[in-house]
Chain A
Amino acid sequence: MTLSRAKAIFIWGTVISAAIFLYLSYDSLVQMPKRTQEEKLDSHVVAGKWVWQKYNCNDCHTILGIGGYYAPDVTKVMSTRDGEWVTRFLKDPEKVWPNARKMPNLHLQDQEVADVVAFLTWVNGINTNNWPPKPLVATAVTSGSPGETVYKAQGCSACHLLNGVGGKVGPDLSRVGGKRDKAWIEAQLKNPKSHNPNSIMPSFSRLSQKDIDDLADYLAGLR
């Protein structure tokens, strides 16, 4: 090979690739407003994006799969948690969801919490080509949350199915958070007859308020 041929490879390689790339980039930028639901991107979301950056959440958490690998990916967190839960969590992570590995309390202002929740809610709507993918095998594995511990300890699975495990006397609870909010579930636990006078589900009003709270939190988070 001669030097001039080598140079031609360099120049043409670069030019061709750059041309394809620039064209596709242009096309992507045209399509992205629709794919990211930009019509829902209001000033709260923008403020929330800045909160996300200001506290450098991204060097612990991944978002869109990018960032630190120390904490859960939050791209689709609003599909599994509701805004009220995340709000309480962000104000005091340790209390609302105690885990061995901890998220520090960042002492966010109320407005900042509201904004970042709006931001995460908007991110949840981005079309990510179905990432993260649905698991190939659905299993019932522990999350280690306190509510789950109560669930197991009280033997709710005797009557309820959760992620394919348990009995069939009562309804499947795998996605119960999707149709019932926390207050409703708390009422169900304390007095099942309040919803269905003929209910055969036992009352759990004897549990401590904390256990009820944890349990309701956990179930409300299942979507």
Chain B
Amino acid sequence: MKYESQKIAMNYFMIAAVLFGLQIVFGLITGAKYVWDFDPLINILPFNTSRAIHINLLVVWLLFGFMGGTYYIVPEEAQTEIYSKKLANFQLVLFALIGVTAIVGYLLGWTWGMPFLEQPTVLKFGIVIVALIFLFNIFMTMMKTKKWTVIQGVLLGGLVMLAGMFLFGIFFMKNLADQYFWWWWVIHLWVEGAWELVTGAIMAFMLMKLTGVDRELVEKWLYVEVGLVLFTGIVGTGHHYYWIGTPNYWLWWGGIFSAFEPLPILFMVIDTLRVVRERKTEIPNRVALSWAVGCAVMHFFGAGVWGFAHTLPQINQWTHGTQVTASHGHFAFFGAYAMLNLTMFYFAMPQLRGLTTFNQSLGVKSFWFMCSFMGLIALSLGIAGIVQAYFQRVLGMDYLTTQEYMKLWYAVFWVSAWGFAAGVVMFLMDFYRLARARS
């Protein structure tokens, strides 16, 4: 750590970690409702509310992580302090307040009712203000020195795109098909566009610092990878336009372009393994290294392989709206974005605390717990989804009867989720210990 204001990242990471823990609590509650039909919470915390909280916490903790990561990286890239520490802290408090209000609101039945975008409209405008303050602060920092590195440029581009796409999710449309048309501009163009830029830039920075390889090499590949992500991913949005009232040419455009989406993700794996092999320095931080390499691999399987599996319309017509999607959603969000954030926590935390060495055993253990149990979660939901697609869509069995045949796999899923939660507890303990450690 070279600049005082990088410390801003710390509070962002702490909040992110707490929200991550909460996300898992709500995940376990939501999952239990699949395993047991009887729901004692049906009138207090029904499935829709617990799911809304589970997925909102996910998105919000990832955003806190991205913001913290940006505040950590930009000073080093721009070689100057953050433009305004006050704004950074204000922005954090405002975002946290909006988050708390949203969740309390959901519990009281205050909702906008579109998946992932359940936040009532006033809160959405609040989020836009947070985003504007954040972007302003980052932009002004970069303008102080105008040292435009590729990493910085891609990071800023990704963040601007991230904030910009959110605007398409704010307005109420009379036509449900239109509403979902724009909804995917947010959801898809986030996870298969903007967020890939942000994480690509952050990962490039960390790999460069961890391995000591040349900036030139890292930045060149960053360009190629995010270029291919956008080339395949933008038209690839069409894989969500097969069955929602949109014209049928999307079956071609969406199918073909999205089928190539795994390619840049594969390049990222190759690239990561190569820079680690060609490292110029020792890498004492094994936990960060595990998360970084693990992230590349899990990103590829969760997003690339699991995504490809149901992206062609010939397959998607059977799997659409089944647990196959849930399997992919869990695996991809964890592999690509949760793991990127965890890499960053372990990369930055020792430096923020001025530690040269730290005990790594619990960190490594939590890494293996989370990764292997996430594998089981993806597998069990995936099998549940295949059972569902086959019985319900191919054989024409009705929805509720089919659910009975999926019970076993819901149980496997839920038990695996407890294993995953154990990994999260280990991480939280380890992280708390690191946050308080003195050099």
The interface of chain A, by Cβ under 8 A from chain B, is: 1-3, 6-7, 9-14, 16-18, 20-21, 24-25, 27-29, 31-33, 35-36, 38, 41, 45-46, 49-50, 52-60, 62-73, 99-102, 104, 119, 123, 126-129, 131-139, 141-144
Contacts and interface: CB of A to CB of B under 8 A. Distances in A.
Contacts of A102: 37, 39, 42
Contacts of A126: 176-177, 244-245
B219 interface: yes
A77 to B, nearest CB: 10
Contacts of B326: 69
A139 B397 contact: yes
B400 A143 contact: yes
A72 B245 CA distance: 19
Given A17-B230, A18-B234, A64 B177 contact: yes
A24 B249 contact: yes
Contacts of B393: 132-133, 135
Contacts of A16: 231
Given A28-B246, A28-B247, A123-B176, A14 B230 contact: yes
Contact of A104 (B46, B230, B394): B46
Interface of B is mostly: helix
Contacts of A36: 175-178, 245
Given A32-B177, A133-B393, A1 B113 contact: no
B180 interface: yes
A43 B321 CA distance: 28
A18 B185 CA distance: 12
A18 B232 CA distance: 10
B243 interface: yes
Given A53-B112, A58-B113, A104-B43, A65 B48 contact: no
B410 to A, nearest CB: 11
6 A-B pairs closest in CB distance: A135-B396, A53-B113, A13-B231, A65-B321, A10-B227, A59-B48
B67 to A, nearest CB: 24
Contacts of A33: 175
Interface in B92-138: 109, 111-115, 118
> Which of A50, A65, A100, A144 has the largest count of B CB atoms less than 10 A from its CB?
A65
B84 interface: no
B34 interface: yes
Interface of B: 33-34, 37-39, 42-43, 46-49, 51-52, 109, 111-115, 118, 150, 172, 174-181, 183, 216, 219-221, 223-224, 226-228, 230-235, 237-238, 241-251, 253, 257, 317-318, 320-323, 325-326, 393-401, 403
Contact of B48 (A14, A25, A57, A123): A57
B224 A1 contact: yes
> Which of A33, A128, A134 has the largest count of B CB atoms less than 10 A from its CB?
A128
Contacts of A25: 181
Contacts of A101: 37, 400, 403
Contacts of A73: 321, 399
Contacts of B33: 70
B223 A7 contact: yes
A210 to B, nearest CB: 21
Nearest to A14: B230
Contact of A6 (B220, B242, B249, B325): B220
A111 to B, nearest CB: 18
Contacts of A137: 394-396
B321 A132 contact: yes
B321 A68 contact: no
17 contacts: A6-B223, A9-B227, A20-B235, A21-B237, A29-B178, A32-B178, A36-B245, A52-B113, A59-B48, A59-B113, A65-B320, A65-B321, A100-B38, A101-B400, A119-B176, A133-B317, A141-B396
A21 B47 contact: no
A198 B144 CA distance: 95
Contact of B113 (A7, A57, A69, A132): A57
A137 B318 CA distance: 13
A66 B321 contact: yes
Contacts of B250: 24, 28
A144 B178 contact: no
B231 A128 contact: no
Nearest to A55: B113
B367 to A, nearest CB: 29
A32 B246 contact: yes
Contacts of A128: 243-245
A53 B108 CA distance: 15
Contact of A46 (B174, B242, B325): B174
Nearest to A72: B399
A68 B322 CA distance: 9
Contacts of B397: 139, 141
A58 B223 contact: no
Given A7-B223, A68-B115, A143 B320 contact: no
Contact of A139 (B246, B320, B395): B395
Contacts of A142: 398, 401
Contacts of A2: 220
> Which of A13, A56, A129 has the largest count of B CB atoms less than 10 A from its CB?
A56
Given A32-B181, A70-B33, A59 B115 contact: yes
A59 B51 contact: yes
A127 B248 CA distance: 10
Contact of A138 (B52, B226, B323, B396): B396
A58 B112 CA distance: 10
Contacts of A31: 246-247
A49 B401 contact: no
B48 A27 contact: no
A41 B174 contact: yes
Contacts of A69: 321-323, 325-326
Contact of A28 (B181, B224, B399): B181
A109 to B, nearest CB: 14
Nearest to B243: A131
Contacts of A131: 242-243, 317, 320
